[in-house]
Structure 1
Amino acid sequence: MENTAINLAKKPQTIDGARILVVEDDAEIGDLVERCLAAEGHHIHRAATGADALDKSNDIPLDLAIVDLGLPDLDGMILVRQFTSRYGIPVLVLSGLAQTAQRVRGLEEGADDYIPKPFEPEELVARVGASLRARRQASSGPTVSGKRIRVDDWIVDILRETLFDQDGRAIPLSNAEFKLLQALLDHPNKVLSRKHILNMTHTDMDTTERSVDIQVTRLRRKLEQNGTRPQLIRTVRRLGYMLVADRIEPID
């Protein structure tokens, strides 16, 4: 089944009203996902097995896939690899709360995010929207290619390694804080593990993953109005951190 071909010639046709494949063998969960996303105007296609999902991917130009890892006929991780590396669409992993190792593995295989079971409909809709926005931004060109980047109400000056608030005031950042911000900015609306962040920021190999938590706390103090309920840098329990922004765009 791993060698099943996926039609690479097909391209997603929409972002708004996206074509989403829901791969879930539990009918009740599948129905819930379909109702939530259809209410947002998305076009939902269903598959209860990995084989059916691969067949549908050959016939439907998909914008996004939601994949349950516990499928009856094959390891859902196979679909994650197929959709991300061969077909190039964002994948959200469905996973039980007790399956932390599987969720981490899914992200390492290229999944954009995970949706824990049980989930709140509002969170499902938000995560799907974030993944679609991130992919739309990525397809329009590298986010950080400009000299200055707008991130919601903030301005990030890449060359000067400086952060400015909406009133134009410079917010001093340490070198480590700026590297962290840039790593998150390079992967907007996507969960990054602590290990991944360490690798991207070229932190000394002796540094522990706990240091990422410390830098996130320091950066939040400068970015977040409410440090106890952060909106821009979200914690994804047991997995890592995610930059959640509605607007990320070069302004030069």
Structure 2
Amino acid sequence: MTESLHLLIVDDDREIRDLLTRYLARHGYRVTAAKDGQEMRRYLADRNIDLVVLDLMLPGEDGLSLCRAIRADGGPPVVMLSAMGEDADRILGLEIGADDYLPKPFNPRELVARIKAVLRRVQTPGATPVNGAGALAFCGYVLDQAQRRLTDPQGAEVTLTAGEYELLVALATRPRRVLSRDDLLEITRGRSAGPFDRSIDVQISRLRRKIEPDPADPAIIKTVRSGGYIFSPEVTQQ
């Protein structure tokens, strides 16, 4: 299953690069390692990369800037690593488009699990749509699950990260139903929320900025006090 998947490790610590390269290769992945942003950009331009494992603290251009550039270019999903384990750093990484975040030091087995979870969410066009559904329409938007794309009322594509897409599918396929943070994490990642896990809140905020007419007064994804979130519009299948 993983033999054709190509990972790019970006870390300035040679020991970590070598360790992750060997460990991930043993799990069947093809692995390329880069020591900085310059090498990362070259490999992304020259090779077909399925996922980037990106260190936050890099010499020169840091991981946040590089992650933002990957997102702007429509690049592969990103799992961010950082020795800075504070919530603020994790939230900032997720805000600028990382698909998951893992603080150092970490167990390599957990990194593999996170990589697999992110890659499961990134299906190729033509894969079986979620819940057997095709395209879902709401508020003029069309969410095409077969092509994994969202178009706005004017027909323009809305750029979503893998995490944002999975979260939108989870909400749109369960309209007018209150979903807690734990529910959404279980649906999208197959795991329960930790006591301080705010990643769903971050992704909800990002989604609102992309699809709400007024993100400060959301009408599509509403907050339910002490409950979670509810996808309020009518959803029709096309």
User: Same fold by TM-score, threshold 0.5 exceeded?
Assistant: yes
Larger radius of gyration: 1
Name the structure 2 match of 1:193.
Answer: 200
In 2: Cα distance, 1:129 partner to 1:44 partner: 14
Is the 1:15–1:132 Cα contact (8 Å) retained in structure 2? no
For 2:106, the aligned partner's letter is: F
Deviation at 1:82, TM superposition (A): 2.1
Is the 2:91–2:199 Cα contact (8 Å) retained in structure 1? no
Structure 1 unaligned regions, length at least 5: 1-13, 148-155, 163-173, 217-252
Within the alignment, does 1:203 sit opposite 2:205 as a pair?
no
Name the structure 2 match of 1:96.
Answer: 83
Q: 1:203 to 1:100 in 2, by over 3 A?
A: closer
Deviation at 1:136, TM superposition (A): 1.9
Equivalent position to 2:178, from 176, 179, 182: 176
Equivalent position to 2:38, from 51, 70, 77: 51
Structure 2 unaligned regions, length at least 5: 135-169, 192-197, 209-219, 230-238
For 2:223, the aligned partner's letter is: T
Equivalent position to 2:18, from 9, 26, 31: 31
Q: How many residues align?
A: 174
- Any idea what the Cα deviations from partners look like across 1:117-157, whole Å, max 9, x if unmatched? 1111110111111111111278736535729xxxxxxxx9x
In 1: Cα distance, 2:90 partner to 2:181 partner: 26
Within a 5 Å distance, the mapping from 1:33-182 to structure 2 comes to 33-136=20-123, 140=127, 143=130, 146=133, 175-177=177-179, 181=183
Q: 1:86 to 1:30 in 2, by over 3 A?
A: same
Deviation at 1:180, TM superposition (A): 7.5
For 1:120, the aligned partner's letter is: N
Is the 2:78–2:98 Cα contact (8 Å) retained in structure 1? yes
Within the alignment, does 1:18 sit opposite 2:20 as a pair?
no
Deviation at 1:83, TM superposition (A): 1.9
Deviation at 1:86, TM superposition (A): 0.9
In 2: Cα distance, 1:44 partner to 1:137 partner: 20
Q: 1:194 to 1:179 in 2, by over 3 A?
A: closer
In 1: Cα distance, 2:126 partner to 2:55 partner: 26
In 2: Cα distance, 1:131 partner to 1:62 partner: 14
Is the 2:82–2:102 Cα contact (8 Å) retained in structure 1? yes
Q: 1:97 to 1:58 in 2, by over 3 A?
A: same
- Any idea what the Cα deviations from partners look like across 1:43-90, whole Å, max 9, x if unmatched? 111111111111111111110101111110112112112223313311
- Any idea what the Cα deviations from partners look like across 1:191-241, whole Å, max 9, x if unmatched? 83335448674115xx4xxx25xx59xxxxxxxxxxxxxxxxxxxxxxxxx
In 2: Cα distance, 1:120 partner to 1:111 partner: 19
| Aligned-pair Cα RMSD in Å | 3.6
Q: 1:180 to 1:26 in 2, by over 3 A?
A: closer
Deviates more, 1:120-129 or 1:95-104: 95-104
In 2: Cα distance, 1:144 partner to 1:83 partner: 30
Normalising by structure 1, what TM-score? Answer: 0.57
For 2:199, the aligned partner's letter is: L
